[in-house]
Structure 1
């Protein structure tokens, strides 16, 4: 696989030199400084490329290989008339990225919140810190702090009772910490939504159920897919994180059936997947190695991380990359076989770009301010483990080859 890490630009506490020293040759980044929905100009794209490649004359080269993310405007997700303008902007951004040689674009279609956790510094038995999601804590925010109308109907009666009890004993500092964590903005940002006015954002989705959101997603794909195909860009949607509805909002990229439907909605290699084992692995009904085998030809980008479900299956935390509920051996083996299938078929670029996702905050990074999930040392450990796993799998397959699939399901 092509080993990469995410980088948030010159303000990122983790410098590009750390990615290079970790063994990366690819950089995953975006123009985070631009407002959502504007056209990404060629000049801005080239400026970011030059920043990434600035030291390539002195050291092992780095290249901007994946965009994560080119955000989808809320007007598109809500199916508003204004979506036509934002879709045109998206199409133009794809053309500009292709003109600069960048051909893998990750995006998501989660309403309002990009991702959700309730604890950004959950202490593990070894003293490192991880991201965690606790359903009851989320209920405290939703029912008691936000006071969303009808929120209690989305939780079991015992969770509602426990949430009220927990809230009654929380300090102002604990309440503020939970609120800021839930309302955290995009990854790489330390800015949060404001509680005042957040309910209004949710209310704008009151008439949008899962079927409507899914159709808005398909409308988007049918509009931008032909442009991506024309200019040679691979679109790859990121699954919902976590993969179940929150705050009364629908989520439609959570299951194998969801993925199958969106791939069929615009049936082209340009319409593909970001295969995130952490997001998809939260659901026990998702067969991750089987999904790689069935959808492999349409996987354009890979996030490898392991989540661990707790006693309440909607509670989970980020485990070490080779533990948790994700069978990482089976997943990586399936990905290696997919790469081999591509190479045998004469694919011009059989390597899958992969990044280790959501490393633990550990060692010296415990004393540093870093973006949640994106500290240097935890991701370095994850990448080292994953590279070793990949090497072992490749060695085993070389010693005892297996027949390659001639196709990945219907895709």
Structure 2
């Protein structure tokens, strides 16, 4: 398994030197500063590769750009409106430019409006560490009383609505503003940041779109780009919804094994695959992560090995980012399933027998607490997770190799 690390570019407070010292060999990055729908030019791609290959002091880092996360899919493509056909052609050109640069794995998502949703970006744990959290009551308070979305009242039962109303009444104006900011939080250096008015406008455009329609738009997108990726020797991998249940009245189409299977069957090409994110999918109690790896592993091109702790047994519920081996997903069984898939690939002579993974997210611990890095992407918290995962892999590999 290839050990990778997400890096947001030169403005990332976790440096390339930090990554090299953590022991990762590959970098997961993207050109977040380019507008969604724009072509990723060879010059911009080469610039990021040079930044990855170079330590802050100018020495070589020995790191390579292994995975793109993400080459974003525009809202126009998801809605099939506006400039969506031009964006589709730009996407194909970007794929060709990435392939020419030697990058083979391209992660993307098809989540409408918001890529991921958390209500707290630094929730304090009993030991003093902090982590990201999704609190369903806080989210309902935002939806009902801050965003004031049309139709929100129909999405929450009486008990949750009452709890959300109390929670909102307890918050100061500053706390309400902070909650809203957390929910529409963007990536560092991203070209696009949404205001509440932007969110309302996008929601209005999705108001009449069903799950089936959005899924068909994803299939249409993949029908265009997956054959291109296949010819270029690329592997596309769709990230699951985060969290994996409906929010803001928006359709969700990549939240369960059955939903993934539908899309994989509709565009049945090896180039069209999965980013198996244990944290996103693990927020639902009915998702079996080791089983998904066993059954869909042939099309898993990228792994996000992170864990969450659910706070209820409901499909839609609160959760927080747990330690990598301490959440509700059995990480040892998931890693074992991934190593078995790699063994099958080696036996079949596949070139992609080493699946890249990253110690996705992490709790802020020790010096992380003062570093103020991108929420979810601390230095020491991820280093701890990578070390734990590396230990699991080292323990399991000999047993699987001799089986």
CA distance in 2, matches of 1:225, 1:86: 15
Shift of 1:397: 2.8
Q: Which residue of 2 aligns with 1:107?
A: 108
CA distance in 2, matches of 1:161, 1:148: 17
Q: Which TM-score applies when normalising by structure 2?
A: 0.96
Q: Which residue of 2 aligns with 1:408?
A: none
Shift of 1:59: 5.3
Q: 1:312 to 1:189 in 2, by over 3 A?
A: farther
Q: Which residue of 2 aligns with 1:43?
A: 43
Deviations 1:97-118 (A, max 9, x none): 0011111000000000010000
Q: 1:323 to 1:189 in 2, by over 3 A?
A: farther
- The 5 A counterparts of 1:377-396 are 377-396=380-399
Number of aligned residues:
400
Shift of 1:286: 1.0
Shift of 1:125: 1.9
1:332 aligns with 2:338: no
The answer to whether the 8 A contact 1:146-1:195 is kept is yes
Q: 1:249 to 1:89 in 2, by over 3 A?
A: same
Deviations 1:16-66 (A, max 9, x none): 011111011100001111000001101111111111112599556100000
CA distance in 1, matches of 2:340, 2:67: 22
Shift of 1:391: 0.5
Shift of 1:189: 5.4
Q: Which residue of 1 aligns with 2:253?
A: 252
Q: Which residue of 2 aligns with 1:67?
A: 68
Q: Which residue of 1 aligns with 2:90?
A: 89
Shift of 1:311: 3.3
Q: Which TM-score applies when normalising by structure 1?
A: 0.94
Q: Which residue of 1 aligns with 2:296?
A: 295
Shift of 1:198: 2.5
Q: 1:318 to 1:115 in 2, by over 3 A?
A: same
The answer to whether the 8 A contact 2:285-2:313 is kept is no
Matched residue SS, 1:204: helix
Which of structure 1's runs of 4+ aligned residues deviate more than 4 A? 55-60, 187-192
- The 5 A counterparts of 1:232-311 are 232-311=233-312
1:354 aligns with 2:334: no
1:344 aligns with 2:350: no
The answer to whether the 8 A contact 1:296-1:335 is kept is yes
Q: 1:361 to 1:78 in 2, by over 3 A?
A: same
Q: Which residue of 2 aligns with 1:406?
A: none
CA distance in 1, matches of 2:360, 2:173: 32
The answer to whether the 8 A contact 1:221-1:265 is kept is no
The answer to whether the 8 A contact 1:55-1:61 is kept is no
Q: Provide the alpha-carbon RMSD of the alignment.
A: 1.6
Deviations 1:256-296 (A, max 9, x none): 01110111111011000001000011111111111111111
Deviates more, 1:182-191 or 1:305-314: 182-191
Q: 1:188 to 1:299 in 2, by over 3 A?
A: farther
Deviates more, 1:69-78 or 1:168-177: 168-177
What runs of 5+ residues in structure 2 fail to find an aligned partner? none
Q: Which residue of 2 aligns with 1:323?
A: 326
Q: Which residue of 1 aligns with 2:12?
A: 12
The answer to whether the 8 A contact 2:360-2:382 is kept is yes
Q: Which residue of 2 aligns with 1:200?
A: 201
Q: 1:226 to 1:347 in 2, by over 3 A?
A: same
Deviations 1:346-380 (A, max 9, x none): 11231111000111111011112210001101000
Matched residue SS, 1:274: strand
CA distance in 1, matches of 2:379, 2:285: 30
Matched residue SS, 1:235: strand
Deviations 1:320-367 (A, max 9, x none): 000110000100000011111111111123111100011111101111
The answer to whether the 8 A contact 1:30-1:67 is kept is yes
Q: Which residue of 1 aligns with 2:232?
A: 231
Shift of 1:172: 1.1
CA distance in 2, matches of 1:169, 1:50: 50
What runs of 5+ residues in structure 1 fail to find an aligned partner? 403-411
CA distance in 1, matches of 2:304, 2:346: 21
Matched residue SS, 2:197: coil
The answer to whether the 8 A contact 2:16-2:55 is kept is no
The answer to whether the 8 A contact 1:115-1:186 is kept is no
Q: 1:60 to 1:43 in 2, by over 3 A?
A: closer
Q: 1:243 to 1:154 in 2, by over 3 A?
A: same
CA distance in 1, matches of 2:190, 2:274: 24
Matched residue SS, 1:130: strand
